[in-house]
Amino acid sequence: MLARVVAAAVLALAAVVASASAAAAGDATYPVRWEVGYMTVAPLGVSQKVIAINNQFPGPLLNVTTNWNVRVNVQNNLDEPLLLTWDGIQMRMNSWQDGVAGTNCPIPPGWNWTYQFQLKDQIGSFFYFPSLGLQRAAGGYGPVTVNNRAIVPVPFNQPDGDITLFIGDWYTKSHTELRDMLDDGKDLGIPDGILINAKGPYRYDTTLVPEGLQYEIVGVEPGKTYRFRVHNVGTSTSLNFRIQNHNMRLVEAEGTYTYQQNYTNLDIHVGQSYSFLVSMDQNASTDYYIVASPRFVSSEARWHDVNGVAILQYSNSKGSASGPLPDAPDDFYDKYYSMNQARSIRMNVSSGAARPNPQGSFRYGSINITQTFVLKNESPLRIDGKRRRTINRVSYSPPETPLRLADLHNLTGVYKTDFPTMPSNAPPRRASSVLNASYKGFLEMVFQNNETDVQTYHLDGYSFFVVGMDYGEWTPNSRGSYNKWDAISRSTTQVFPGGWTAVLVSLDNVGIWNIRAEKLDNWYNGQEVYVKVADPLGYNVTEMIAPDNTLYCGLLEHLQKPQIHETSKKSSGHAVARWSTQLLATVSLIVTAVIGS
Ligand SMILES: *[C@@H]1O[C@H](CO)[C@@H](O)[C@H](O)[C@H]1NC(C)=O
Ligand SMILES: *[C@@H]1O[C@H](CO)[C@@H](O)[C@H](O)[C@H]1NC(C)=O
Ligand SMILES: *[C@@H]1O[C@H](CO)[C@@H](O)[C@H](O)[C@H]1NC(C)=O
Ligand SMILES: *[C@@H]1O[C@H](CO)[C@@H](O)[C@H](O)[C@H]1NC(C)=O
Ligand SMILES: *[C@@H]1O[C@H](CO)[C@@H](O)[C@H](O)[C@H]1NC(C)=O
Ligand SMILES: *[C@@H]1O[C@H](CO)[C@@H](O)[C@H](O)[C@H]1NC(C)=O
Ligand SMILES: *[C@@H]1O[C@H](CO)[C@@H](O)[C@H](O)[C@H]1NC(C)=O
Ligand SMILES: *[C@@H]1O[C@H](CO)[C@@H](O)[C@H](O)[C@H]1NC(C)=O
Ligand SMILES: *[C@@H]1O[C@H](CO)[C@@H](O)[C@H](O)[C@H]1NC(C)=O
Ligand SMILES: *[C@@H]1O[C@H](CO)[C@@H](O)[C@H](O)[C@H]1NC(C)=O
C-alpha cells in the first residue's frame, strides 16, 4: 500500500518537473536522452574505463539543421559531476547552456539535466565533450553536424556520403590518474597511442602494434566522393592527418566554407575541426592507410611509434594495406611549412554561409578595433608551491558559484573583472578574474606563445577571424601584415612556438564566454579566462533569461530543489541522500494527509 502511494507521489512529482521545462516554439525540435556512464574497452589492448554515452564511444551523432531547437536530456551516471560543452556552437544570447564551470553548475552524479538551445544561424561540423576535470581524456565526446536548410546553398556538390573521424592522442591511464599526476606537478608524458574513432591502430608494423587490436575501417565505393569531418579531440598532441594516395579538398573549417584547395596532408591541432571532400579515384589495388601522426613533438624516438592508423577500403579492394605509412611532412628545417599551410586556409568570400554577415563584420578588415587583449602564456610557473599554467601571469581559479549565476543574483566578490589585458612581469597568482568587453565592440585578441610547443586556444560563443600569425613578439606594427580580406572565421586557433596569432571578433553575443587552452593539461592547470560581454549598464536585455531548470551550487546552493531520480544505481551518497530526503518528505506528507482525513 505504502509502496503504491509513494510510487504515485513520485510519478506526480516527475510530471511537475517535466512540465517545468517548456518546449521552444517555432523551428523543429530535436529531443534526445543521453545516459553518460562508464564502459570498459581496450583500444590499445589494455582494459580501461572510458566515458560512453548510451553505451557508445564516441558518443551519438547530434544530426541537426540550422535553427533547430535541441533538447538533450543528460543523465549523469558517472561518479563525478558532469557538464557537456558544445565546441563551436555559439549559444546565441544563451551562455546559460554553454556547459562550462563559469556558466553552469555541474550535474551531480545520479542527476539529470536538460540542455535546451537553438542552433541559430549555424552550419558545419562541431563536437561536444565533457568539460570538467580532464574528463575528455576518458572520452565522452561525439559529433554535432549542423546541416544547411534546403534554401541555403552549399558551395560544392552533395557528397555521396558523410564520414566523421575523431582523432586524438590517448593514455591507458584513467583521467583520474592523469589528474593526480598533474596535481603532483608532473607532466603527462608521451601518450600511449593515437586513436581514430576510439579504436587503436591498424597493424601496419608488427613490431610496434600488438596483435588483435580493433581498428577503424572506412568502407567506400569507387568513383564516389565523401565528406570527411575530422576533429582532434585529444589531450595535447597536434596531429598531421592524411589519406594515402588521396587528395583531400578542404571545404570547411569550424563552420566556415573555405577557399577550396587540395591538400595531401593537414596539421590539425587539439580542438580543431575540418571537412574535406575526398574522391575515391584510385585503382583499389590495395586498401589505403588513413593516418594521424604526432606533430611538433620532442625528438624522443618513442614518438615515432605512436601513430593513429585506420583503413580506407574500396568495395572492390584487391588486398590489404601494407608497407610504410605515407610520409609526414619533412619540415624539420622549415619552421614556416606548417604556418604557411595554416595561412593558406582562407574563407571563400563568394560562397553563401548560414550567417554570412554577423553584425556587418563581413568586411571585417575595415572595422575599427575598439579593444585589444594581448594574452601571453609562459612555461609553468610556481604559485603557492604548485606548478600552474598562466595567461598574463594569472592562473584561473574557477569559483564554486558560476560567474553568470553570481551576476544574476547580484553576488559581488565571486570574481573580479581585473584580468590583465596585457602581459607584464607581475608576480604570478591564482585568481577568479575575468576580462570585460563591450557588447557591439570589435575586439582584437593576440595570443603570444612564450613556450616551445604549439598552443591551441578556443573561444566559446563566437567565431573569430584569424587575421595573422608569425614567429617572434607581436607589436602594433604587426597589424600591417594582417589578412584584411579573406581570413578564415573559426573558433579554435593554433599559436606556434615562440610566435603569435591575432584574431578579430565582432562582439555581437551577450554573455560570459570561456577562452581556454584546448590542451587539456594546460587548461586543467589554469590556462583559461572568461570574457564578460555586456553593455556598460549590464547584460543586454536581448539576452535570454535563465532557464527554468537552472541548477544552483556554491553560494546559491540553498536555492536548489531536490531531484527525483529515475536511475540512482550509480549515484553518489550526496545524491542518494537528497533522493531519500525527498522521498521521506513526500511520504510523510501523504501519511499526514491520510491520517488527517
Ligand atoms: C543527417 O541529417 C541529414 C539531413 O536531415 C540526412 O540527410 C542525413 O542522412 C543524416 N545523417 C545521418 C548519419 O543520420
Ligand atoms: C530528467 O529526466 C526526466 C525523464 O526523462 C525528465 O522528465 C526531466 O525533465 C529531466 N529533468 C531535467 C532537470 O532535465
Ligand atoms: C567559392 O564559392 C562559390 C560559390 O558557392 C563556388 O562556386 C566556388 O567554387 C567556391 N570557390 C572555391 C575556390 O572554393
Ligand atoms: C584536387 O584533387 C582532385 C582529386 O584527386 C582532382 O580531381 C583535382 O583535379 C585536384 N584539383 C586541383 C586544383 O589540383
Ligand atoms: C594500380 O595501382 C598499382 C599500385 O600503385 C599500380 O602498380 C598499377 O599500375 C595500377 N593499375 C592501374 C590500372 O592503374
Ligand atoms: C575608424 O577610425 C578612423 C580614424 O581613427 C575614422 O576616421 C573612421 O571614421 C573610423 N571608421 C568607422 C567605421 O568608425
Ligand atoms: C539584482 O539587481 C537588479 C538591479 O538592481 C534587480 O533588478 C534584481 O532584482 C536583483 N536580483 C536579485 C536576484 O536580487
Ligand atoms: C567591467 O565592467 C563593469 C560593469 O559591467 C565595471 O563595473 C567594471 O569596473 C569593469 N572593470 C574594468 C576593469 O574595467
Ligand atoms: C619568451 O619571452 C622572453 C622575454 O620576452 C624572450 O626573451 C624569449 O625569447 C621568449 N621565448 C619564446 C620561446 O618565445
Ligand atoms: C540591447 O541591444 C539592443 C539591440 O540589440 C539595443 O537596441 C538596446 O538599446 C540594448 N540595450 C541596452 C540596455 O543597452
Q: Express each pLDDT in 59-84 by its tens digit.
A: 999 999 999 999 999 999 999 999 99
DSSP H helices, 109-191, are 175-183
Mean pLDDT of 83-90: 98
- Asked whether the beta carbons of 389 and 356 are under 8 A apart, the reply is no
- Report which protein residue has its CA nearest ligand 7's atom 11: 409
- Cβ of 281 below 6 Å from ligand 5: no
- Cβ of 552 below 6 Å from ligand 7: no
Ligand at shortest distance from the CA of 114: 2
Q: Which pLDDT score, from 0 to 100, does residue 490 have?
A: 96
What cell was used for 377? 602564456
- Asked whether the beta carbons of 449 and 335 are under 8 A apart, the reply is no
- Asked whether the beta carbons of 92 and 393 are under 8 A apart, the reply is no
- Tell whether the model's pLDDT for residue 137 goes beyond 50: yes
Q: Which DSSP category does 433 fall into?
A: B
pLDDT band at 14 (very low <50, low <70, confident <90, very high): very low
- Report which protein residue has its CA nearest ligand 2's atom 1: 112
- Report which protein residue has its CA nearest ligand 4's atom 12: 262
More confident residue, 537 or 175: 175
Q: Residue 410 C-alpha to ligand 7 middle, in angstroms? A: 6
Q: Which pLDDT score, from 0 to 100, does residue 581 have?
A: 35
Distance CA 329, CA 337 (A): 8
Q: Which of 450, 454, 470, 475 to mutate to test the pocket of ligand 9 (most atoms within 8 A of CB)?
A: 450
Q: Which pLDDT score, from 0 to 100, does residue 362 have?
A: 67
- Cβ of 221 below 6 Å from ligand 4: no
Distance CA 252, CA 264 (A): 16
pLDDT band at 248 (very low <50, low <70, confident <90, very high): very high
Which range is most confident: 324-333, 388-397, 563-572, 583-592?
A: 388-397
By C-alpha distance, which of 92, 27, 100 is closest to 543? 92
Domain ranges of the chain: 2-28+568-596, 42-68+119-343, 364-534
More confident residue, 101 or 351: 101
Distance CA 187, CA 168 (A): 18
Q: Residue 143 C-alpha to ligand 3 middle, in angstroms? A: 26
By C-alpha distance, which of 448, 438, 446, 452 is closest to 465? 446
Distance CA 104, CA 91 (A): 13
More confident residue, 101 or 25: 101
Q: Residue 407 C-alpha to ligand 7 middle, in angstroms? A: 9
Q: Residue 327 C-alpha to ligand 4 middle, in angstroms? A: 20
Distance CA 53, CA 45 (A): 21
Mean pLDDT of 26-44: 94
Ligand at shortest distance from the CA of 60: 1
Pocket of ligand 9 (CB under 6 A): 450, 452, 498
Nearest atom of ligand 1 to the alpha carbon of 162: 13
Tens digits of residue pLDDT in 428-480 = 999 999 999 999 999 999 999 999 999 999 999 999 999 999 999 999 999 99
Q: Which pLDDT score, from 0 to 100, does residue 299 have?
A: 81
Beta pairing partners, 291: 242, 309
- Report which protein residue has its CA nearest ligand 5's atom 7: 285
b (16+ CB within 10 A) / e for 405-424: bbbeeebeebbeeebbeebe
Ligand at shortest distance from the CA of 356: 3
Q: Which of 280, 281, 285, 287 to mutate to test the pocket of ligand 5 (most atoms within 8 A of CB)?
A: 285
Q: Residue 277 C-alpha to ligand 3 middle, in angstroms? A: 14
Asked if residue 58 has a cis previous peptide bond (ω within 30° of 0), the answer is yes
Q: Which pLDDT score, from 0 to 100, does residue 352 have?
A: 56
What cell was used for 568? 540512482
* Cut 0.85: pTM above it: yes
Beta pairing partners, 53: 36, 56
Q: Which pLDDT score, from 0 to 100, does residue 566 have?
A: 60
Nearest atom of ligand 3 to the alpha carbon of 260: 14
142's CB contacts (< 8 A; 6+ apart) are 53, 56, 58, 59, 60, 61, 62, 127, 128, 129
CATH number, span 42-68+119-343: 2.60.40.420
Ligand at shortest distance from the CA of 512: 8
- Report which protein residue has its CA nearest ligand 7's atom 2: 410
- Asked whether the beta carbons of 129 and 193 are under 8 A apart, the reply is no
Distance CA 552, CA 465 (A): 35
What cell was used for 305? 611509434
- Cβ of 161 below 6 Å from ligand 3: no
364-534 architecture in CATH?
Sandwich (2.60)
- Tell whether the model's pLDDT for residue 178 goes beyond 50: yes
Q: Which pLDDT score, from 0 to 100, does residue 567 have?
A: 54
- Asked whether the beta carbons of 579 and 568 are under 8 A apart, the reply is yes
b (16+ CB within 10 A) / e for 92-125: bbbbbbbbbbbbbbbbbbbbbbbbbbbbbbbbbb
By C-alpha distance, which of 177, 142, 125 is closest to 35? 142
- Give me the percent of the chain exceeding a pLDDT of 70: 88
Sheet (strand 69-76) strand order? 48-53, 29-41, 69-76, 112-118
Mean pLDDT of 236-258: 97
- Report which protein residue has its CA nearest ligand 5's atom 5: 285
Ligand at shortest distance from the CA of 11: 2
- Cβ of 256 below 6 Å from ligand 3: no
Q: Which pLDDT score, from 0 to 100, does residue 564 have?
A: 77
Distance CA 111, CA 121 (A): 31
- Cβ of 264 below 6 Å from ligand 4: no
Ligand at shortest distance from the CA of 424: 9
Tens digits of residue pLDDT in 485-525 = 999 999 999 999 999 999 999 999 999 999 999 999 999 99
Distance CA 571, CA 79 (A): 7
**What amino acid occupies position 68?**
W
Q: Residue 531 C-alpha to ligand 6 middle, in angstroms? A: 25
CB atoms under 10 Å from CB of 203, counted, come to: 15
- Cβ of 549 below 6 Å from ligand 4: no
Q: Residue 266 C-alpha to ligand 3 middle, in angstroms? A: 20
- Report which protein residue has its CA nearest ligand 9's atom 7: 450
Mean pLDDT of 390-410: 97
Q: Which pLDDT score, from 0 to 100, does residue 170 have?
A: 98
Q: Residue 186 C-alpha to ligand 9 middle, in angstroms? A: 23
- Tell whether the model's pLDDT for residue 24 goes beyond 60: no
Domain 42-68+119-343 and domain 364-534, same fold? Reply is yes
Ligand at shortest distance from the CA of 352: 3
- Asked whether the beta carbons of 345 and 253 are under 8 A apart, the reply is yes
- Tell whether the model's pLDDT for residue 13 goes beyond 90: no
Q: Which of 10, 21, 70 to mutate to test the pocket of ligand 2 (most atoms within 8 A of CB)?
A: 21
Tens digits of residue pLDDT in 324-347 = 999 999 887 899 999 999 999 999
Mean pLDDT of 272-288: 98
Nearest atom of ligand 1 to the alpha carbon of 145: 1
Q: Residue 437 C-alpha to ligand 8 middle, in angstroms? A: 9
- Report which protein residue has its CA nearest ligand 1's atom 8: 63
Q: Which pLDDT score, from 0 to 100, does residue 586 have?
A: 35
Mean pLDDT of 258-269: 97
Q: Which pLDDT score, from 0 to 100, does residue 346 have?
A: 96
- Give me the percent of the chain exceeding a pLDDT of 90: 82
- Report which protein residue has its CA nearest ligand 5's atom 12: 283
**What amino acid occupies position 407?**
D
More confident residue, 156 or 2: 156
What cell was used for 234? 585529444
- Cβ of 536 below 6 Å from ligand 10: no
- Cβ of 214 below 6 Å from ligand 5: no
**What amino acid occupies position 258?**
T
CB atoms under 10 Å from CB of 442, counted, come to: 19
Nearest atom of ligand 8 to the alpha carbon of 418: 13
